[in-house]
Amino acid sequence: METKNGRLDESILVCVHYGPNGERLIRRGLKIANMLGCPLYILTIDTKPFDEMDAEKTFYIEHWKQLADEHEASEFMMLDNEKRSVSKVIAQVAREKHVTQIILGQTAQSRWEQITKGSLINTLLHEIPFVDLHIISVTRYIRNENGQFQRGCRAYLSKEEDHYRLSFKHSNSVDYEGIFFKEQGTDFDNGIFKFMRDKEMYKVQVTDGTVKELKKVEMNVDYEQESKS
């Protein structure tokens, strides 16, 4: 990201986790970084090694990398097999990259969790008091992959006459690669296929293993706004 005419004394770190809000946080960071003309770093952390992650997680990581490359972010950092606490890792990265602003998504956390585990925000304020925290209120899924749909798996779409056929093995005839979320309680391949097309995220309806048209659909999901800490 260009900083020649910008604020070299400012540096922004966006911390993302799996789910639909990661892209929103990254774009918020990009907007602020472009206004200031300063470096932007993107960080995601996982306790598992990368080669043990499921298809849904790797899909999000690939998408975030693509966003970082397209918008010339200074660096995308994927820290896998990480055993330290999230706050410790974020604090270390912030010091190493001379970060002055951190963007986080507000997560749901009960009072009991705050008592037993501590608040991430409060811990960061203690660990790195020299950094400004931007806490972005986000929405979370109440019924989605965790209720109406099974966990996503890697899948593919191939063109067949006037429709697309869903498959789970890669071949030379594949037109799109993405994640398939199968509906709960069905023996057929019914659900939602999520993929990238023309640098845009698509969700299309799958019925009995076929997609009639690449038309975006809204998942039948209930949303809940996060409460303020």
pLDDT, mean of each 10-residue run, the chain (229 residues)? 60 88 89 93 93 83 90 94 92 95 72 55 87 75 53 90 93 91 86 84 90 75 34
Please indicate, yes or no, if residue 182 is contained in any of the structural domains: yes
pLDDT of residue 227: 32
Asked if 97 and 203 sit in the same domain, the reply is no
In this structure, the answer to whether residues 134 and 159 fall within a common structural domain is no
Whole-number pLDDT of residue 201? 79
Residue closest to 191 by CA, chosen among 183, 201, 202: 183
Instruction: Please tell me the distance from the alpha carbon of residue 210 to that of residue 130, in angstroms, as a whole number.
Output: 53
Evaluate if pTM is beyond 0.75: no
In which domain, by residue range, is 178 found?
Answer: 153-211
Same domain, 196 and 126: no
192 and 110 in one domain? no
Residue 41 lies in a domain: yes
Q: Would you state the structure tokens that stand for residue 31, as one six-digit string?
A: 């907007």
Distance CA 221, CA 210 (A): 22
Q: Are residues 186 and 135 in the same domain?
A: no
Q: What is the pLDDT of residue 24?
A: 86
For residue 224, the one-letter residue type is E
